[in-house]
Amino acid sequence: MEKSGLRERKKRERHEALIDATHALVREHGSDGVTVEMICDAVGVSSRTFFNYFESKEHAILGLTEVSVDDTVAATFVAGGPTGRFVDDTVVVLRDLLSAPALSGHRLAAAMELARAEPRLLVRHVAWMEDQRSSFDELLARRRATTGEHVASELVGVVMMSAVRGAFMRWEQRGADGTPADHVEPVLAEIRTLLA
């Protein structure tokens, strides 16, 4: 196995271990009874390592990490590509965004269970989704400035974030096989049918 492949696997395993430890500790002590130090002790890492993976304890509970579109994919999209058809190009961006390893089905279910038990976690999740939508809005605005396309960036951002949520739901309902990216096109097809 190449060094980079091994490094990525170890990173993914550490990420999962931090989430699993966080979930176990929160179930036992409640969110307010858990500290970052407790999580780090359970996994055997430093708090610095923890913050390389998560912005906060709440992010670890929810499994939230920074997501971004590949620079090449973003540049191609902003330039009006890859197909020149706005919706198709947006699908390419969403597939790239969702192709990163997601939480496994059981981790996602655990995160949502904990979030339902503590409304402030749901608020944090909504705020994180809004941050993601804002990033997408910026990408759309850059494309509009380059191509002159007249699209309502904010509205498109809302629809695309709904597609992301739908892709995650569909992925989970179908046993969490593959990645949520595999479900973008079917979700968008359902949205088109609803709006037709």
Full set of structural domains in the chain with CATH: 1-65 (1.10.10.60), 66-195 (1.10.357)
Provide the pLDDT for residue 104: 76
Q: How much is the average pLDDT of 129-152?
A: 85
CA distance 91 to 189: 11
Provide the pLDDT for residue 101: 61
Provide the pLDDT for residue 94: 87
- Whole-model pTM over 0.85: no
Has residue 41 got a pLDDT over 90?
A: yes
Q: What are the tokens at 104?
A: 């496994």
Helix axis angle, 119-147 to 105-117, nearest 10°:
120
CA distance 133 to 157: 6
Average pLDDT of the chain, as a whole number: 88
Scanning 30-46, the segments in alpha helix (DSSP H) are: 36-43
CA distance 61 to 161: 21
